[in-house]
Amino acid sequence: MKRIEAIIRPENLAPLRQQLETLSYPGMTVIQVEGHGRQKGVSRQWRGMEYRTYFLPKLKVEIVAPDKAVRKILDAIVDTCHSGSVGDGKIFLSDVRDAIRIRTREKGDKALL
């Protein structure tokens, strides 16, 4: 099992969700976050003054999925969230030791599918 954490632009959530519907994915958690990458935010000029915004609103989409489902989910995220401009986001992948569906007490992959 893997945890996919994708930091994406908020406007990409709806297209991503639609794209994921065509695959088998077990569920997702969406969290409103703020952050910055290597550009450290954005700066804008206004009336000759420079204003810097360090943290930009993003969404974190978290999906815990069976190993065999991971590649297609990653492809769907990259395909729907790539514009080629800075700030498109990032995906972090990590191992998950176990999952439990509380209703049925199923564990592991069975708790996901």
Ligand X SMILES: Nc1ncnc2c1ncn2[C@@H]1O[C@H](COP(=O)(O)OP(=O)(O)OP(=O)(O)O)[C@@H](O)[C@H]1O
Q: What is the radius of gyration, based on Cα positions, of the chain? A: 17
68 vs 86: CA distance, rounded Å: 30
- 35 contacts which partner out of Mg ion, ligand X, none, CB within 5 to 8 A by kind? ligand X
Size of the site for ligand X (CB under 6 A): 14
> Which residue in the shown chain puts its C-beta closest to Mg ion?
37
Q: Which part of the chain contacts ligand X (CB under 6 A), choosing from 44-52, 68-76, 85-93, 105-113? A: 85-93
CB of 66 vs ligand X, minimal distance in Å: 25
| Options 2, 37, 70, 72; binder of ligand X; rule CB under 6 A | 37
112 vs 54: CA distance, rounded Å: 37
Q: Which CB, 20 or 59, lies closer to ligand X?
A: 59
Strands (E), the chain: 2-8, 29-35, 42-46, 49-53, 56-65, 89-95
Left (φ > 0), alpha (ψ -120 to 50) or beta: where does 66 sit? beta
CB of 36 vs ligand X, minimal distance in Å: 5
| Options 46, 86, 95, 102; binder of ligand X; rule CB under 6 A | 86
26 vs 100: CA distance, rounded Å: 13
Q: Which residues sit at the interface with ligand X, rule CB under 6 A?
A: 7, 33, 35-39, 56, 58, 86-90
